[in-house]
Amino acid sequence: RLAVIGWAWCQASALAPPAGSHPLWSMSAEIRHGDPGAVTGHISLAPDDSVVAALRLLCYGLAFFLAFQWGRDERRARRTLQALVLAGAVYAVYGLAAHWGGSDKLFWFENSRYHTVVHSTFVNRNHFATYAGMVLLCSLALFYDTLQRHHAPAARMPAGRVPKGARVTTAGDRLEQFALLAWKPLLLVLLLTTALVLTASRGGFFSTFAGGAVLLVALSARRRLRSARSLAFIVLAAGMAAVAFWLTSEMLLDRLDRGGLEDNLRFAAYGLVTESSRDNPLLGFGYGTFADSFRLYRSDAITGYLDRAHNTYLENLFELGWPAALALFATVGAAFLVCLRGLRRRGKDWFYPATGLAVTVLVAIHAWFDFSLQMPAVAMTYAVIMGVACAQSYSSVDRHER
């Protein structure tokens, strides 16, 4: 990541040789002064934007580092995920209240279409869908671990309600104990799923579904799904999600019926971005400069203002060039592999790396169709989750040695 940040700074600096500078700089000098050396050349077409983008990436890296250090202790790691879930629930409540209340304002900013879909404090519904999906996966993982930590949750009543020395054996008592344990997590699942579906974000919904499937596969890989508690977790979580989907999916199904999963405008942009990247595959056009650089290549097939490629991978290749972009992708891939290793080797608390795998799949899939991961709120949340997940991917012995 530091290498990518360093390269972005080089793109914005005036240290690039004339042969590496974008031709528009020399053309600008000739037009203004008739002297090719009158204007300093840069690889980036918008150096200030490249600096800002590099600083943002540095902030995400620092958030990951701090979460990694903080999350070495399991109790603090748990509190971190719980805090993220609580914050996500607050955002979901605000978004649902604005949607069902018919509000036409985002705080004090007026938006006549704000109440048509749920996007909480996020300007774009797709960004909120990614955020809500990550928080939903965290809540599912915490719910599962809570059931596992209560070794006999259906066999005991809370302290003070059972006479001393008495044993609880009736099915009614077991059901009551399980309800006391599960109602809060299930309410969070219902709330977050409802908010997610009401975003009517096709990519957000299906990427979250894929992340949830990975989470269940990770749980199955540890051979814990045979227990009654695990089966109860799957049935109840899936049931709550199904109820929320059935009650609130009208807008999402309507979008799928009208447009399916295709978007001709986006696919046209993908083709142009891929083609234009070949003009400078090694150096790129400058990190964070897509809005300015892509204007040189847009055609009549692209209508409206396109300041993002709606594909994070293509946009990074366009801006950074292939070597730096692949290094950036490798950073995320390395974190994914650390979580995969932790899932296989941890004897306990392995649900943390499982969560890291699930949220990575979510953002990786959605990044093919949108740019949610380029939004600071989403990227920062992902960095914190992965920091905790990677920290808990090492056993206590490994962490002591490190």
Q: Helix 351-366 to helix 202-221 angle, to the nearest 10 degrees?
A: 150
How far apart (Å, rounded) are the C-alpha atoms in residues 75 and 352? Answer: 12
What is the three-state SS of 153-169? CCCCCCCCCCCCCCCCC
pLDDT of residue 250: 61
Gap between the Cα atoms of 190 and 302, Å rounded: 39
Secondary structure (3-state) at 109:
strand
CB contact at 8 A, 361 and 310:
no
Q: What is the pLDDT of residue 358?
A: 96
Long-range contact set of residues 377-380: C-beta below 8 Å, sequence gap at least 24: 377/122, 377/127, 377/131, 378/127, 378/130, 378/131, 378/134, 379/56, 379/60, 380/59, 380/60, 380/63
Whole-number Å distance between alpha carbons of 125 and 91:
13
**C-beta of residue 70 within 8 angstroms of C-beta of residue 28:** no
| pTM score of the predicted model | 0.85
Q: Could you identify the residue written with the tokens 């006391």?
A: 180
Residues 358, 270, 288, 120, CA torsion sign: negative
Structure tokens at 58: 């540095």
Helix (H) or strand (E) holding 340: helix 322-345
Beta bridge partners of 109: 106
Quote the pLDDT of residue 364. 96
pLDDT at 254: 64
Distance of alpha carbon 186 from alpha carbon 66, whole angstroms: 30
Q: Coil, strand or helix: which one is 106?
A: strand
The two three-digit tokens of residue 370, written as one number: 């949108």
Write out residues in the chain with pLDDT < 70, as ranges: 16-41, 106-115, 150-182, 222-265, 301, 303-304, 396-402
For the chain, what is the radius of gyration of the CA atoms? 24
Tokens of 197: 């579906």
CA 267 to chain centre: 22
Please give the distance of CA 82 from its chain centroid, rounded to a whole number. 17
Distance CA 195, CA 382 (A): 19
Burial of 318 (0-12, 13-18, 19+ CB in 10 A): buried
Backbone angles phi, psi at 109, to 5 degrees: -90, 125
Neighbours of 120 (CB within 10 A): 24
